[in-house]
């Protein structure tokens, strides 16, 4: 059963105060095309650019925004660049989960002295709009956490980026508001290693636990533990495969991504019906569950505000806990490799992650795996 943990260090001053996810940086093979897809399909707006035209000779990067969500898509200009090597191994994927802090040097110092591997020592960046400080540490696989201090920066994003002032004629906003949580996949036996990393190095606590009895089908299973930071604004579930008759979705991800990495990003909305309708119309492909799921829905979750017929037409799932209910839906992988996908979520009191939907969702994923020949 899920275990809701109390804040284990409530009486201790938070040594790593985090204000939220600052941005997510993707390493991709073609940033211009990736940015176009996220603008036209997911409704992000192009707001800043960094590249050869701005003095950055070895990479190009596009900043996309929708409400509080910031995505950066970066690509290499030359084949020997580290981005090229990352893409060759992993395909397009998340490289950095950036976290907003008041003091990047202190965040780096507090985490490295607790055992974090340093990726980037504190670095000061400046231009005519002021200065920002960045520092990075390693987490699972080749993923990093970058601490971003921008209190003395007045620019559009970070030094080195220039604002895109022209109207974005491609973007069609879909009502996405903020990142609810981000899920990492790790190898069998490594989940607790990274749970300990987030607890001991970053001061997170265990928020919920799901075992193979909660997340399983006739063919595959996985284990998951959700870690939450001190003020509860950041949640990182960590998944590992569990023993099953066939290859689980986690094993498929690890094989095609070439190791641990970010499996999916959950983006919140306050109108999931409107958001999903727009995203579908704009070309986003979602997983579907059998119609029987909706026949049994009212008996399982009770009264809800949304018409069940509409939820069925769109494929939106519903689950309830002691605090309310939540609605969620998952895209198919957004690349040719079966790796990264997205969740759209609306919370109406519930703070859980849809345990009641796990079986239907994972069976839908397995149907897609079977079509790819990977089950």
Task: Give tens-digit pLDDT for 4-27.
Answer: 444 444 435 789 999 999 999 999
What residues have CB less than 8 Å from 288, skipping those under 6 apart? 315, 364
Average pLDDT over residues 102-127: 97
- The mean pLDDT of 110-132, rounded to a whole number, is 97
DSSP H helical ranges for 283-351: 292-295, 297-301, 308-314
Q: At what angle do helices 358-372 and 249-257 cross, to 10 degrees?
A: 50
What pLDDT score was predicted for residue 361? 59
Residue 334 pLDDT greater than 80, yes or no: yes
Residue 295: pLDDT band with limits 50, 70, 90: confident
**Mean pLDDT, the chain, integer:** 90
Question: In whole angstroms, what is the distance from residue 6 CA to residue 228 CA?
Answer: 11
Is 204 or 212 the better-scoring residue by pLDDT? 204
CATH architecture of 21-163: Roll (3.10)
pLDDT of 6 reads: 43
Mean pLDDT of 261-273: 97
- Second CATH level (architecture) for the domain 178-372: Roll (3.10)
Q: Which residues pair with 237 in a beta bridge?
A: 226
Spell out the residues 6+ positions from residue 121 whose beta carbon is closer than 8 angstroms to its own. Answer: 108, 135
Grade residue 263 by pLDDT with cuts at 50, 70 and 90.
very high
- In this prediction, residue 213 carries a pLDDT of 58
Question: Residue 206: pLDDT above 70?
Answer: yes
Q: Which of the residue ranges 19-28, 234-243, 350-359 would you say has the lowest mean pLDDT?
A: 350-359
Nearest alpha carbon to residue 329 among 365, 305, 373, 298: 365
Percent of the chain with pLDDT over 70: 87
Mean pLDDT of 352-372: 66
- When pLDDT is cut at 50, 70 and 90, the band that residue 44 belongs to is very high
Spell out the residues 6+ positions from residue 332 whose beta carbon is closer than 8 angstroms to its own. Answer: 285, 286, 287, 341, 368
Q: What is the mean pLDDT of residues 26-32?
A: 98
Q: How confident is the model at residue 2 (pLDDT cuts 50, 70, 90)?
A: very low
Query: Same CATH fold, 178-372 and 21-163?
Result: yes
The residue-averaged pLDDT of 294-302 equals 87
Residue with tokens 């898509």: 73
Residue 73's DSSP bridge partners are: 26, 62
Domain ranges of the chain: 21-163, 178-372
pLDDT at 296: 83
Q: What is the pLDDT of residues 146-172, one digit of tens each?
A: 999 999 999 999 999 999 989 999 999
- pLDDT above 80 for 370: no
The per-residue pLDDT for 47 is: 97
pTM across the whole model:
0.92
**Residue 224 contacts residue 213 (beta carbons within 8 Å):** no
Confidence (pLDDT) at 3: 42
pLDDT at 61 over 50: yes
Please report how many Cα atoms fall inside a 13 Å half-sphere around the Cα of residue 68, on the Cβ side: 13
Cβ-in-10-Å burial (0-12, 13-18, 19+) of 291 comes to exposed
Which band of pLDDT confidence, cut at 50, 70 and 90, is reported for residue 208? confident
Q: Contact, 321 vs 350, CB < 8 A?
A: yes
pLDDT of 51 over the 50 cut:
yes
């Amino acid at each position: 059963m899920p275990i809701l943990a109390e804040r284990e260090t409530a009486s201790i001053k938070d040594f790593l105060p985090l204000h939220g996810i600052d941005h997510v940086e993707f390493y991709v093979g073609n940033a211009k095309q990736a940015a176009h897809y996220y603008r036209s399909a997911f409704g992000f707006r192009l707001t800043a650019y960094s590249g050869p035209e701005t003095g950055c000779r070895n990479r190009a990067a596009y900043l996309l925004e929708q409400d509080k969500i910031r995505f950066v898509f970066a690509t290499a200009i030359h084949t020997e660049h580290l981005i090229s090597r990352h893409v060759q191994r992993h395909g397009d994927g998340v490289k950095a989960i950036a976290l907003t802090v008041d003091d990047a040097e202190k965040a780096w110092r507090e985490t490295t002295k607790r055992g974090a591997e340093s990726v980037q020592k504190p670095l000061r960046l400046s231009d005519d709009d002021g200065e920002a400080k960045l520092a990075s540490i390693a987490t699972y696989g080749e993923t990093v956490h970058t601490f971003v201090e921008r209190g003395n920066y007045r620019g559009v994003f970070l030094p080195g980026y220039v604002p895109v002032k022209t109207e974005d004629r491609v973007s069609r906003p879909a009502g996405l508001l903020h990142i609810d949580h981000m899920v990492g996949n790790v190898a069998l036996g490594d989940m607790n290693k990274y749970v300990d990393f987030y607890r001991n190095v970053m001061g997170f606590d265990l928020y919920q636990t799901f075992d193979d009895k909660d997340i399983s089908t006739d063919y595959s299973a996985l284990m998951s533990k959700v870690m939450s930071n001190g003020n509860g604004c950041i949640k990182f579930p960590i998944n590992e495969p569990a023993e099953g008759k066939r290859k689980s979705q986690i094993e498929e991800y690890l094989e095609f991504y070439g190791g641990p990495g970010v499996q999916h990003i959950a983006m919140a909305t306050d109108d999931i019906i409107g958001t999903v309708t727009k995203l579908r119309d704009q070309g986003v492909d979602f997983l579907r569950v059998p119609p029987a799921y909706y026949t049994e829905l009212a008996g399982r979750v009770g009264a809800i505000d949304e018409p069940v017929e509409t939820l069925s037409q769109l494929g939106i799932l519903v689950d309830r806990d002691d605090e309310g209910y939540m609605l969620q839906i998952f895209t198919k992988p957004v690349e040719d490799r079966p790796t990264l996908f997205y969740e759209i979520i609306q919370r109406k009191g519930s703070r859980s992650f849809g345990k009641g939907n796990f079986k239907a969702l994972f069976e839908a994923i397995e149907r897609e795996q079977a079509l790819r020949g990977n089950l």
